[in-house]
C-alpha cells in the first residue's frame, strides 16, 4: 500500500483549458518543474492554435487524436470531459499518481508537498449527506453538488468524530478565496471565503459529500474512477463522477479525504445565471442519484471496478439521468484503460 510522504517521480498534474497560458498555468508549470511533476494541459477546439508554455505537455485536439485512443475520437468537443484523454495519456506513461486542478487555481507551496494515502484522521461516517465544508469554517457555505435541502442538516461536532487510521486513495483539497460553491451560493451569499488550514476529515463509506476536480489527488487503484461523463452539463460532470466514485470506493472500504486548502482561486469569468441553469439537473437529481447508487449491489475488489462502473452508469441511464450515448463513451474509456495498463 502506498504510504510515501513525497510526490513520486512522474506524477502527472492535469489541467484542461481553452485559454492561452496565464499566470496560474505558469505557476503550476513552475511548481511542477521544481518538484519533478509532469504538467499536462488538455486543450479543446476553442484553445489557442499557438498555445505554447515551456515545460508543459499541451494536448490539442490533433495530438489527442494522434494518441490512437478510442475515447479521443468519440468524446464530444467543447466539453470538460476531454480531460479524460489527459488521464489516459498519464496512465499510459506510467504515472504513479494523478493530481488535477483548473486553470484558475493558484497553487500554494503545499500543493506540491507530500501526499500520504493512509491517514490518521477524524472520520465523518453518518450514512447521510454531510456538508464537510462546515468542518473548515463557521460560515454557512456548502460544496457545489450538495442537495439544497441538505444545506441546513446538522453535523456532528468535529471534536466528537472518531479518529482512526484509514485508506484514502482519493483526496479532495479545498480552495480559498473563491471556493467551489454552486450558483445559488454565488448569487446570494458573500465571497471571498477562506477555510481553516489545521483540519482534515475523511468521508467514510456510506456517507455522501460531493467532491470536485479542482484540487484532487488519485492513487492508481482509483484511476478507473477518474472517468468524467460527457453527456451532462459542464457543471455536473465532476460532481456526478464523484457520486459514482464514492459508491465504488465505499464497496472497497476506501475513505475520501477532505483536507486543508492548498490552492486559492481567482475565478475565470462566468455567467452566474448560465451556471444556475446548468446546475438545475443537479438540484433536481443529486439526491435521486444517491438513492439509485446506494441501492446497487456493488462488488468489492479493484478487478471489479470496470464492471461496477458499467453497472452504475447503466442504472443512471435507466433512470434517464444520462442518455444512452454515455455508455459507448464509458466503454471506450474502459477499453483504452485496459490497453494502456496492459
CA–CA gap between residue 173 and residue 154 (Å, rounded): 22
Give yes or no for residue 6 having a pLDDT over 80. no
Q: What is the full DSSP assignment across 198-265?
A: S-EEEEPTT-B----SSEEEE-GGGGGGGPPPSSS-TTTHHHHHHHHHHHHHHHTT--EEEEEEEEEE
Percent above pLDDT 90 for the chain: 95
Structure-block grid coordinates of residue 266: 481567482
pLDDT above 60 (res 101) = yes
Hey, how many other C-beta atoms are within 10 angstroms of the C-beta on 145?
25
Per-residue pLDDT band at 10 (split at 50, 70, 90): very high
Which top CATH class is 12-340?
alpha beta
Going by C-alpha positions, the residue among 337, 338, 2, 340 that lies closest to residue 169 is: 2
Please give the helix or strand (H or E) that residue 119 lies within, else none: strand 118-124
Closest C-alpha among 248, 335, 313 to residue 71: 335
Residue 124 falls in which region: left (phi positive, over 0), alpha (psi -120 to 50) or beta = beta
- How far is Cα 125 from Cα 281, in angstroms, rounded to an integer? 27
Average pLDDT for the chain: 96
Residue by residue, DSSP assigns 27-61 as HHHHHHHHHT-EEEEE--TTS-TT---TT-EEE-H
H or E, element range at 106:
strand 105-107
Tell whether the model's pLDDT for residue 93 goes beyond 70: yes
Distances (CA, A) of 312 to 168, 170, 302, 315: 21, 19, 15, 5
pTM: 0.96
Please compute the mean of the pLDDT values over residues 251-267 and round it to a whole number.
96
SS3 category, 7: coil
Burial 156-175 (b: 16+ CB within 10 A, else e): eeeeebeeeebbbbbbbbbb
Sequence spans of domains, the chain:
12-340
Rounded to 5°, the CA angle 300-5-195 comes to 85
Q: What confidence category does residue 1 fall into, taking pLDDT thresholds of 50, 70 and 90?
A: very low
User: Which tens digit of pLDDT belongs to each residue from 216-250?
Assistant: 999 999 999 999 999 999 999 999 999 999 999 99
Amino acid at each position: 500500500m502506498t504510504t510515501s510522504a513525497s510526490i513520486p517521480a512522474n506524477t502527472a498534474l492535469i489541467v484542461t483549458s481553452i485559454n492561452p497560458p496565464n499566470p496560474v498555468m505558469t505557476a503550476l508549470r513552475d511548481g511542477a518543474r521544481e518538484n519533478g511533476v509532469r504538467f499536462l494541459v488538455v486543450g479543446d477546439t476553442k484553445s489557442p492554435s499557438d498555445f505554447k508554455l515551456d515545460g508543459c505537455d499541451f494536448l490539442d485536439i490533433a495530438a489527442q487524436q494522434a494518441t490512437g485512443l478510442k475515447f479521443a475520437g468519440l468524446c464530444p468537443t467543447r466539453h470538460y470531459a476531454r480531460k479524460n484523454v489527459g488521464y489516459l495519456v498519464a496512465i499510459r506513461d506510467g504515472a504513479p499518481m494523478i493530481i488535477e486542478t483548473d486553470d484558475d487555481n493558484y497553487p500554494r507551496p503545499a500543493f506540491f508537498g507530500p501526499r500520504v494515502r493512509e491517514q490518521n484522521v477524524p472520520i465523518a461516517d453518518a450514512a447521510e449527506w454531510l456538508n464537510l465544508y462546515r468542518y473548515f469554517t463557521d460560515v454557512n457555505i456548502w460544496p457545489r453538488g450538495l442537495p439544497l435541502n441538505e444545506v441546513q442538516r446538522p453535523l456532528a461536532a468535529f471534536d466528537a468524530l472518531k479518529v482512526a487510521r484509514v485508506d484514502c486513495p482519493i483526496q479532495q483539497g479545498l480552495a480559498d478565496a473563491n471556493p467551489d460553491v454552486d450558483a445559488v451560493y454565488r448569487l446570494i451569499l458573500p465571497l471571498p471565503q477562506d477555510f481553516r488550514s489545521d483540519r482534515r476529515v475523511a468521508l467514510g463509506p456510506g456517507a455522501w459529500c460531493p467532491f470536485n476536480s479542482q484540487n484532487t489527488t488519485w492513487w492508481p487503484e482509483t484511476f478507473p474512477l477518474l472517468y468524467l461523463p460527457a453527456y451532462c452539463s459542464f457543471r455536473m460532470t465532476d460532481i456526478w463522477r464523484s457520486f459514482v466514485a464514492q459508491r465504488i470506493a465505499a464497496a472497497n472500504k476506501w475513505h475520501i479525504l477532505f483536507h486543508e486548502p492548498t490552492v486559492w482561486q481567482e475565478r475565470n469569468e462566468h455567467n452566474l445565471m448560465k451556471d444556475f441553469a446548468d446546475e438545475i439537473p443537479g438540484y433536481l437529481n443529486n439526491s435521486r442519484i444517491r438513492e439509485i447508487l446506494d441501492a446497487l449491489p456493488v462488488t468489492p475488489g479493484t478487478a471489479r471496478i470496470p464492471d461496477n462502473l458499467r453497472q452504475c452508469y447503466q442504472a443512471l441511464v435507466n433512470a434517464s439521468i444520462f442518455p444512452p450515448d454515455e455508455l459507448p463513451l464509458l466503454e471506450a474509456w474502459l477499453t483504452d484503460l485496459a490497453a494502456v495498463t496492459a
